[in-house]
Copies of this chain bind each other. A is one copy, B any other.
Amino acid sequence: MSGMPRKVCVVVASRANYARVKYLMKAIQESPKLELQLIVGASALLYKYGRVIDVVRQDGFEPNFQINYLVEGENLITQAKSTGMGIIELSTAFDTLRPDAVITVADRFETMATAIAASYLNIPLAHVQGGEISGNIDDSVRHAITKLSHLHYASSEKSAERILKMGEDAWRVKLTGCPSIDILANSDLALPPQEYFQDKGTGRVFDPAGPYLLVLQHPVTTSFGEGAQQITETLQGVKDIALPKAVLWPNPDAGSDDVAKAIREFQNDHRDLPFSYHINFPPEIFASMIANARCVVGNSSSFIREGAFLGTPAVIIGDRQHGREHGKNVVHAGYDRGDIRTKTLAQIEHGRYESEHIFGDGTAGKKIAVHLETAELRIKKRCTY
């Protein structure tokens, strides 16, 4: 069937997912040899997480399926159950859509659900962001997904090497860079005017014209229960630095309820301070927020990945990103307000870093799409040793 475009199915299951695959989705959509199939599910459908699906639609993508499969609770158990629900529902969706390949991204439970459903249905699975190292259970999940995947689009040289070391065939691994970098390379990274932020959050209205710190700290699932204290140290650490702070809400990982609660308490206790709080931004605005910050503080992998390309000074806290490859823009701090304050001040003092292309040069989406047009889609795998 040489004339038929290959059907490539992307599952967008969270805000972070979407930011990472948007440019890949565009590239698939633009390829005459590929046909994009889109499933939007889990937290990407929820108001609480900013209705990512509305942004997806505004960007010109129409989902084939919308599927709610997030079990409420944001604890370890509901995270597992959401994975189970995701597998059940995605199996039916994949069986209905019959894609030639499925794309899964990164390391979270929604990613795992996609990976299991696709691989058990004998649908070739392509993994973006495999082989990377962080300091979370995500690490184990990411590598488990590597072992289930048939094609690996690696973001960095080191992660490509790691995938090979784990026993994957060389022909299945391609170094493309990460599509999340494509967003940076394809937008002017100017922040919108203040009106945009008027009703996009609580606390002080964010002022895009002035300097600011950006804070985003996710719960760490392997130290479930300590998230509230961890974010509190961070907020206290930046509190007295004389810049406005924009704080972003965490992902719906196990423990995010705790983190959210601690943020709300901090907000309640410090209504006079120049903090603004935001649930969600479209990928471009989020990228611009990083690009224009004096310093970014927390444990978001974006601070490392996008941060390297943008040269934004970053203070990375705790062990969620422990061991992750990073550029010169990153310094690490413990869960300690004093340490966080000192390092953040030093980073502000230092100012912007030079751009590094560790995680790609902004053409990853296109490279992946071109590869998918003709890639061998062989489901039988052998460990190379």
Binding site for B on A (CB under 8 A): 43, 45-48, 65-73, 75-81, 83-89, 91-93, 95-96, 109, 112-113, 116-117, 119-122, 133, 135, 137, 139-141, 143-148, 162, 165-167, 202, 221-222, 224, 254, 257, 261, 268, 319, 323, 379-383, 385
4 tightest CB-CB pairs across the interface, nearest first? Answer: A84-B87, A80-B120, A84-B88, A72-B72
Chain B residue numbers with a CB within 8 Å of A162 are: 167, 383, 385
CB distance from A111 to the nearest CB of B (A): 12
Residues of B within 8 A of A116 (CB): 80, 83-84, 112, 116
Q: Which residues of B lie under 8 Å from residue A95 when comparing CB positions?
A: 66, 77
Q: How many identical chains are in the complex?
A: 4
Chain A interface, DSSP helix/strand/loop, else mixed: helix
Residues of B within 8 A of A133 (CB): 382-383
A166 to B131, CA, bound (A): 11
Contacts of A75 in B (CB 8 A): 68
List 8 A–B pairs whose Cβ atoms lie within 8 Å, in order of A's numbering: A65-B96, A83-B84, A85-B85, A87-B87, A89-B92, A140-B147, A143-B147, A165-B166
Taking a contact as CB atoms under 8 Å apart, the answer to whether B135 and A380 are in contact is yes
Q: Whole-angstrom distance between the alpha carbons of A383 and B363 in the complex? A: 29
In the complex formed, the residue of B with least CB distance to A150 is: B140
CB nearest to A45 among chain B residues: B73
Q: Which residues of chain B come closer than 8 Å to A89, judged between CB atoms?
A: 88-89, 92
Query: A140–B127 Cα gap in the complex (Å)?
Result: 14
Instruction: For the complex, give the distance between the alpha carbons of A148 and B145 in Å.
Output: 10
**With A140-B119, A385-B165 given, is the CB distance from A91 to B96 under 8 Å?**
no
Task: Report yes or no: A121 in contact with B76, Cβ–Cβ below 8 A.
Answer: yes
- Do A92 and B65 form a contact, CB below 8 Å, given A87-B83, A143-B383? yes
Assembly CA distance A303 to B66 (angstroms)? 38
CB distance from A103 to the nearest CB of B (A): 17
| Cα A146 to Cα B383 with chains together (Å) | 13
Please report the C-alpha to C-alpha distance between residue A76 and residue B121 in the assembled complex, in whole angstroms: 5
C-alpha spacing A68/B137, complex, angstroms: 22
A134 → chain B closest CB, angstroms? 10
List chain B residues, Cβ under 8 A from A145: 144
User: Given A85-B84, A261-B47, do A92 and B120 touch, yes or no (CB 8 Å)?
Assistant: no
A77 and B261 within 8 A (CB): no
